[in-house]
Amino acid sequence: MINRKLIGRKHLSKIRLVHARFMLALCLSVSLVSAAAAIDHRVKVKVDEKVDITPEKAKRGMMSLARHPDGTIYLNAQFDPPQLLKSRDNGKTWTSVPLKLTLPHQVVQGFGVNRKGRMFILHQTKGGFAPNTADLYGQDLFVSYSDDSGRSWTRSRTDFRKFGPGTPNVKYHEDGNRTFIEQPDGTLMFTTTIVPSKEYKEKYPPTKPESPPNFMYGGKPGDLFSDVVFRSTDGGLTWGDASQVYPDLNPHESALAIGPKDPNRILIMTRIQRLVRPGEDGEEMMRITGNPQPYYKQGALFLSTDGGRMFQVAPGGFSPWYGHRGTVNWFKSNVVAVTHHIGGSGRGEKVVRISLDGGKHWVDGTREGTQKMNESTDFLLFPSVSFTCPTVEISENHFFSTAWGHPDGELSGVFWHLEKSS
């Protein structure tokens, strides 16, 4: 009880105001907790229909899939000669879009489109296409863009060799479903992998046993190789402002996704791979990774809360052993879908993990869900596929994913949806 005789009216009014503000804050806090608790995470993935996209056999298939503002879905499946596939009926039927680039002999990876409809692809020069890694490393790297739905392309002016460590002795490993994301101010981002060139490795040979600063390649302090985020603030005409993605774990084959409610929250699903290092505890590494050997070799989900400058492993972010070839999509509904190989002996099976609240909780069969991705349910999408499995949203809680059959199979897609558990 407030003693009115001891407290003046002005002080009493101030106390009442503070009390009212406290109660308002408490109510808002309770409302937010209630709203979070109101999300029922008990959903299942139901595969509806499979469609054949093309009978052409896979050579490389680290695919990228994105929807144009006009509704067209575009797929880059790493064909040779370079081409895109497009669908105007939400993935049911597909037609070819030949790529007329300004440079010959290009390996084409990655695809994206911004809000204005400008399309982007990544490419680099090859010596002759072959289904091996020899053609996936090059010291040139380009972004080309199209403003006429892929009929013509203009190459950006950026020389990426300015941005890697040990320049110009760096190569770009363009293997992955390279995605483009866009922040509300129009800033565009994509990732690529930097690796040492032959000349760099000859100049800075690795030590035996491996030791700092580079462990894998020898080299100078700070020259850890990994995926790099490049940015453009002029609609993709020039690219720069590079930052590395957690080089300690050698991430590569990355896919980016940006939060629709908070563009500073960015997810990367990537592949990590490195051996145990001198001074590290192999048994502790196996405990952390869940792997049967002291070896990082799996997929990993990384989270940035500062717009992609710094990344940390998301809670439960490691997929099972050999569970790489992953993708991540973050849809307007705040649903996050992560796909990856199931890992272990069933490496060809492609599974999807689902979050209904932007990666804060993951579907695991309970109402509350789990905060750790690797404890969530891995729903089967494809029984046996190679490479990556990108996804687009067809309508609320309905999706379409693509994959190459394994081994050397046909390109197909599946329609699937989220269904509330009974």
pLDDT digits (tens, 9 = 90+) for 271-304: 998 888 878 899 999 999 999 999 999 999 999 9
| Dihedral over Cα of 343, 349, 354, 359: its sign | positive
- Determine whether 180 is exposed, middle or buried from the number of CB atoms within 10 Å of its CB (0-12, 13-18, 19+): buried
Burial letters for 31-42: b for 16+ Cβ neighbours within 10 Å, e otherwise?
eeeeeeeeeebb
* Token reading at 60: 């490389």
344: phi then psi, degrees, rounded to nearest 5: 65, -140
Which CATH number does 41-420 carry?
Answer: 2.120.10.10
pLDDT digits (tens, 9 = 90+) for 234-276: 999 999 998 889 888 888 889 999 999 999 999 999 999 888 8
Contact 252, 192 (CB under 8 A): no
- Average pLDDT of span 144-158: 94
- Average pLDDT of span 345-358: 88
Residue 360: pLDDT over 80 = yes
Residue 6: pLDDT over 50 = no
Contact 402, 389 (CB under 8 A): yes
Instruction: Quote the mean pLDDT of the chain.
Output: 84
Contact 353, 26 (CB under 8 A): no
Question: Would you call 29 helix, strand, or coil by DSSP?
Answer: helix
pLDDT digits (tens, 9 = 90+) for 121-139: 998 887 543 444 455 566 6
106 compared with 359, residue with greater pLDDT: 359
The pLDDT-based confidence of 118 (bands split at 50, 70, 90) is: very high
- Average pLDDT of span 200-207: 74
pLDDT of residue 214: 56
pLDDT of residue 108: 87
**Beta-ladder partners of 218:** none
Residue 14: pLDDT over 60 = no
Q: What is the dihedral of CA 159, 69, 254, 227, to 10 degrees?
A: 30
16 compared with 286, residue with greater pLDDT: 286
End-to-end Cα separation, the chain, in angstroms: 50
| Sheet with 336-341: strands ordered across | 327-330, 336-341, 350-355, 379-382
Q: Please give the full DSSP string across 173-218, using - where no structure is assigned.
A: E--S--B-EE-TT--EEEEEEEEE-HHHHHHSPPPSS--TTTSSS-
Task: Report the percentage of the chain scoring pLDDT > 90.
Answer: 56
Contact 217, 204 (CB under 8 A): yes
| Sheet with 73-76: strands ordered across | 64-67, 73-76, 83-87, 95-98
The pLDDT-based confidence of 143 (bands split at 50, 70, 90) is: very high
- Average pLDDT of span 321-331: 94
260 compared with 406, residue with greater pLDDT: 260
Cα separation, 204 vs 210, in Å, equals: 12
The pLDDT-based confidence of 22 (bands split at 50, 70, 90) is: very low
pLDDT of residue 422: 64
Cα separation, 316 vs 374, in Å, equals: 5
- Average pLDDT of span 190-214: 73
